[in-house]
Amino acid sequence: MKPNITRRAFAGTTIAALAGLCGGLRFGTGAEEEKPARQAATSAAGRVPRRVGAVAYSFQYSIGLFSYRQRPGERFDAVKFVEATHAAGGNVAQLFYLMIDSLADDDLRRLRQRAEQLDVLLEVHGGHAPRKDFERTMRQAAKLGSRIVGCSFGFMLRPDKLATLADWDLHYAACEKRIAELVPLARSLRLTLAIENHLDFTLEELHALVRRFESAEVGLLFDAGNWIGTLDDPLEAADTLGRYVAATHYKDFAIEETPQGFRFTMVPLGCGSLRLEELTRRLEKQVRPEVAYSIEMMNGQHFDVNWLEDRFWVPFRNKAARQVAATLRHIRSRTIDRQEHIPVEEFDRLPHEAHVKLEADRLARCIAYLKDLLGAKG
């Protein structure tokens, strides 16, 4: 199954909307207690189907995250996000910490109860791990029943923010120190810190980091597309790091080569450059069954990675030509669906109701696509 919405269909959705306007589990600790609905879905071999759902960023406009913080119109709260994920066919919802930051304990309890009613597993992404109130987010996550807290340590830091290898090594040491500070609390709360590959750490650096701790409290948030930004092959990453994965960001990028390097544009699953069919097969061989696949569909988001510039490589070490070649083979082996290659600026011209509807529709398509891949993985 391949999702395929044409520009004509995209325009039709917009016109229809305008017409309307005018008239979890802890990493590495074993299987969860199954709810009756999940028990009924268990295969004859006894394996519970993989949970598939959404990262909050898939509803960034509807929620009002990041560049949409000042937008007018009604917004999704955390409960509405869970309900919208369920309506799209998902059964895991990865909350961004800002969505729960101001919630009192009673609000957290109601959110957890609603998720349990819908059989939606809650996860939390805590954002930047060095922030001083990250520990508070960890405690809130535990109250929600989340078994993971995603975290990151920067975004595309090299070479613009960390221009030398010495700068990077200091940053890496600070990251390792911060993880060590958070591990005791994670252990007491029975949480796993899921470190995201956020276009910062290379495959080798993340592997070394998790092996440094080698514990149930430290795992990976495996972002399917971000590996390309550090010139790593996602397939090699799956083979090397699959057993450490505690959470995911499943996505697809249309990756175009430029005179300076790569341009990334986020597109629906199956419409971009990532070999998601093979990636899913490889992950399924290693990733623990209780780990969920959460889809990150930030419509049309784009950025450049200028890896062909000499200065890009100054803060990196020992990137083998074999690895770069594998990365290039990965993105050159698939043809981008140009009908889906729509920049965020086009989406931002949509009226409010049309933008909300588009996020829901695209997520539903991505969830159906990923479920299809999982069903055909053998």
Q: What are the residues whose beta carbons fall under 8 Å from the beta carbon of 115, sequence distance 6 or more?
A: 82, 93, 121, 122, 144, 145
Q: What is the pLDDT of residue 46?
A: 53
pTM for the model stands at 0.88
Q: What is the pLDDT of residue 167?
A: 98
Q: How far apart are CA 76 and CA 314, in angstroms?
A: 43
User: pLDDT tens digit string along 50-60?
Assistant: 999 999 999 99
Q: What percentage of the chain reaches a pLDDT higher than 90?
A: 86
Domain boundaries, the chain: 34-375
Q: How far apart are CA 265 and CA 225, in angstroms?
A: 11
Spell out the CATH class of 34-375. alpha beta
Q: Are 132 and 108 in contact (CB under 8 A)?
A: no
Q: What is the pLDDT of residue 318?
A: 83
Q: What is the pLDDT of residue 26?
A: 44
Q: What are the residues whose beta carbons fall under 8 Å from the beta carbon of 116, sequence distance 6 or more?
A: 145
Strands ordered across the beta sheet of 121-128 = 245-249, 218-223, 192-196, 148-152, 121-128, 92-96, 52-55, 293-295
User: pLDDT tens digit string along 42-52?
Assistant: 444 456 799 99
Torsion angle, alpha carbons of 278, 283, 289, 292, to 10? -90
Give SS3 for 368.
helix
Strands ordered across the beta sheet of 262-267 = 252-257, 262-267, 302-305
CA nearest 125: which of 223, 33, 213, 208?
223
User: pLDDT tens digit string along 179-208?
Assistant: 999 999 999 999 999 999 999 999 999 999
Say if residue 255's pLDDT is above 50: yes
Q: What is the pLDDT of residue 29?
A: 35
